[in-house]
């Protein structure tokens, strides 16, 4: 697996040393909060409602067993025994004490992790397909490219003070599991005449003004990747608005200037700077990275134990039906470990659970773990023969919930239980919906469904691209929840449509239940998914189910 090189290690150690001194000066009073705030944010340290929060980057969602063990150790030693995995494939600690943070950062550095560029108007952690290097539908592992981008963007001298934060996502599969169209830049690997390249998408994003990204270049040869990214970010750095925070993201730049103008500027800049890039060095670096990311040897294994368990064990079968994904190698599976137990907090894992997953990854999955943007963990390479034993081990730790891709596999941001920016809670809404579908034994009947919840307009919970999206707002001092329907975060990305007036906190779960009941009545047959039914019939019948029986406040 890829290991940071000496440059990274030296850079991180130096940054940690600086930050330790800054924390000391903050605590002894020689730095005011005004002076300290930008420094702590540069190191991923936020102040939330009840405590500080440390956001640790997990580049392209890939962790080794040793790294996950260290994350568990940090949770035990300096936090409250758990961590929260986010839609950015990061982990957040909700309770660190300011004076412990330098030690936490040093502990992270021991395993090549850090919290740099997880905040501020910089290029953030590059996100990717959680099934990278394993998925049957993949053209090529996107992570060597993601790592190339990480190296290019880390501490990039010109891009530390962009008009606004900047997020890049990359996928190597035609089936987009990385929501590339909702990122500032999305990269989708494509092939043309046998050559691999990227479709470059620009100006996507959720938040206050949700937009689906637009294709700025339909085929970018691999060799042009970094100069082209440099040209896009450079163009944005000049053209992006700095007068209004709400209009500063590149999606607004593209919207206000038009794609054509932005494309012309980018192409002109690309033509100007491409010759300055050392193409040979980049190619050599990429070749090296490809070696380091080389897929593990996966010897053929007899899948008889899997077949036997699948036939005889209904609990195992239910889990295998939802939590497994086809692997490119016959006899292997990709396992998604649900961090969505019914009634639990989406994305939370205890220290003991992280320890166990790290051990199981070592035992059964080449020592590799992925974090998905849907807030689950993934073991990318598991022999099917080992699945029954893996499942049994996961069950002992409450990690075998068979609900991946179903109604209770909900994305929920921290919302007003933690987040200082929140306008309403999201976690308890997710908990109650999951408990409801579980107690009615509905979710396996309902089938594939993505419910996504955000606690404010910033949309960290991706509600706009949920089949059912829920947005928590503050309406005259009361929590109020807006519903959107028909959103989609895949390669066919669509922003969901608002149904109408919102619902109070104690009405939102019954409202979601009415939508689900309506779907069960409206669908053609079991094979027609919620999204297909919605696309066939439109919003009207769902609105009828939502509002006809219900007295709602006029929002």
**Residue-wise burial string across 87-122, b where 16 or more C-beta atoms lie within 10 A, e elsewhere:** bbbbbbbbbbeeebbbbbbebbbebbbbbbbbbbbb
- Alpha-carbon 328 to chain mean position: 23
Tokens matching residue 116: 């740099």
Picked from other proteins, ligand SF4, none, the partner binding residue 499 (CB below 5 to 8 A depending on kind) is none
CB 413 within 8 A of CB 378: no
| Edge-to-edge strands, sheet with 195-202 | 127-128, 168-171, 185-192, 195-202, 214-221
Do 391 and 336 touch, CB atoms closer than 8 A? no
Among 53, 109, 115, 459, binds ligand SF4 (CB under 6 A): 459
Q: Which is nearer to other proteins, 95 or 198 (CB)?
A: 95
The reply to whether 458 sits near ligand SF4 by the rule CB under 6 A is yes
Task: Report the partner that residue 330 touches, choosing among ligand SF4, other proteins, none (CB closer than 5 to 8 A by kind).
Answer: none
Interaction partner, residue 413 (ligand SF4, other proteins, none; CB < 5-8 Å by kind): ligand SF4
The binder of ligand SF4 chosen from 89, 338, 454, 484 (CB under 6 A): 454
Based on CB atoms, which residue is closest to other proteins, 81 or 221?
Answer: 81
Nearest to 81 by CA among 73, 70, 90: 73
SS3 528: coil
Q: Is 96 in the site for ligand SF4 (CB under 6 A)?
A: no
What the block records as the tokens of 235 is 């163009």
The answer to whether residue 483 forms part of the interface with ligand SF4 (CB under 6 A) is no
Cβ 44 to ligand SF4, closest distance in Å? 15
Nearer to other proteins, 93 or 534 (CB): 93
Q: Is 60 helix (H, G, I), strand (E, B) or coil?
A: helix
User: What character string, x for contact with ligand SF4 (CB under 6 A) and - otherwise, covers 348-367?
Assistant: --------------------
Using CB under 8 A, list all residues that contact other proteins: 26-29, 32-33, 47-52, 80, 94-95, 97-99, 345, 416-418, 425, 427-428, 431, 474, 477-479
Closest distance of CB 29 from other proteins, Å: 3
Tell me the closest approach of the beta carbon of residue 358 to other proteins, in angstroms: 23
Question: Does 482 engage in binding with ligand SF4 (CB under 6 A)?
Answer: no
Spatial distance between the Cα atoms of 443 and 405, rounded to a whole number of angstroms: 10
Neighbour count for residue 265 (Cβ, 10 Å): 18
Residues 405-424 that bind ligand SF4 (CB under 6 A): 413-415, 419, 421-422
Strands 411-412, 451-454: pairing is parallel
Shortest distance, position 324 Cβ to ligand SF4, whole Å: 30
Q: Which residues bind ligand SF4 (CB under 6 A)?
A: 413-415, 419, 421-422, 454-456, 458-461
């Amino acid at each position: 697996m890829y290991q940071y090189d000496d440059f990274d290690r030296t850079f991180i150690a130096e940054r940690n040393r600086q930050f330790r001194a800054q924390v000391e000066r903050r605590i002894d009073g020689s730095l005011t909060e005004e002076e300290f705030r930008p420094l702590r944010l540069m190191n991923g340290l936020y102040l939330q409602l009840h405590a500080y929060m440390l956001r640790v980057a997990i580049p392209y969602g890939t962790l080794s067993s040793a790294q996950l063990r260290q994350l568990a150790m940090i949770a035990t030693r300096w936090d409250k025994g758990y961590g929260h995995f986010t839609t950015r494939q990061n982990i957040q600690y909700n309770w660190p004490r300011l004076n412990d943070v330098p030690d936490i950062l040093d502990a992270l550095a021991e395993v090549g992790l850090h919290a740099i560029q997880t905040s501020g108007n910089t290029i953030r952690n590059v996100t990717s397909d959680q099934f990278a290097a394993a998925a049957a539908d993949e053209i090529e592992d996107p992570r060597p490219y993601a790592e190339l981008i990480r190296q290019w963007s880390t501490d990039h001298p010109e891009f530390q003070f962009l008009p606004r934060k900047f997020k890049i996502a990359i996928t190597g599969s035609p089936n987009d599991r990385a929501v590339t169209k909702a990122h500032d830049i999305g990269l989708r690997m494509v092939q043309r005449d046998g050559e691999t390249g990227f479709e470059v998408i620009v100006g996507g994003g959720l938040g206050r003004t949700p937009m689906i990204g637009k294709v700025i270049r339909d085929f970018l040869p691999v060799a042009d990747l970094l100069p082209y990214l440099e040209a896009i970010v450079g163009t944005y750095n000049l053209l992006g608005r700095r007068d209004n925070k709400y209009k500063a993201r590149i999606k607004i730049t593209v919207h206000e200037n038009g794609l054509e103008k932005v494309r012309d500027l980018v192409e002109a800049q690309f033509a100007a700077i491409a010759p300055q890039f050392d193409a040979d060095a980049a190619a050599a670096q990429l070749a090296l990275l490809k070696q380091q990311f080389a897929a593990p040897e996966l010897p053929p294994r007899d899948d008889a134990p899997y077949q036997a368990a699948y036939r005889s064990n209904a609990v195992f079968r239910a889990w295998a039906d939802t939590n497994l994904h086809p692997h490119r190698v016959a006899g292997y599976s990709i396992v998604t470990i649900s961090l969505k137990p019914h009634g639990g907090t989406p994305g939370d894992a205890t220290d003991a659970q992280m320890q166990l997953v790290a051990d199981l990854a070592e035992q059964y999955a080449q020592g590799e773990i992925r974090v998905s943007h849907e807030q689950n963990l993934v073991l990318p390479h598991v022999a099917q023969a080992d699945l029954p034993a893996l499942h049994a081990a996961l069950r002992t730790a409450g990690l075998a919930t068979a609900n991946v891709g179903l109604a209770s596999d909900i994305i929920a941001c921290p919302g007003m239980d933690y987040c200082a920016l929140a306008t309403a809670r999201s976690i308890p809404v997710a908990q109650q919906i999951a408990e409801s579908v579980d107690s009615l034994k509905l979710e396996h009947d309902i089938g594939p469904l993505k419910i996504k919840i955000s606690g404010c307009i910033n949309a960290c919970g991706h509600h706009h691209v949920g089949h059912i999206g829920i947005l928590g707002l503050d309406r005259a001092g009361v929590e109020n929840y807006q519903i959107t329907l028909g959103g989609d975060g895949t390669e066919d990305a669509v922003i969901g449509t608002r149904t109408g007036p919102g619902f109070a906190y104690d009405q939102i779960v019954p409202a979601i239940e009415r939508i689900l009941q309506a779907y069960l009545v409206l669908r053609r047959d079991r094979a027609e998914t919620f999204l297909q039914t919605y696309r066939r019939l439109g919003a009207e019948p769902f609105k009828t189910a939502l509002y006809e029986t219900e007295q709602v406040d006029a929002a």
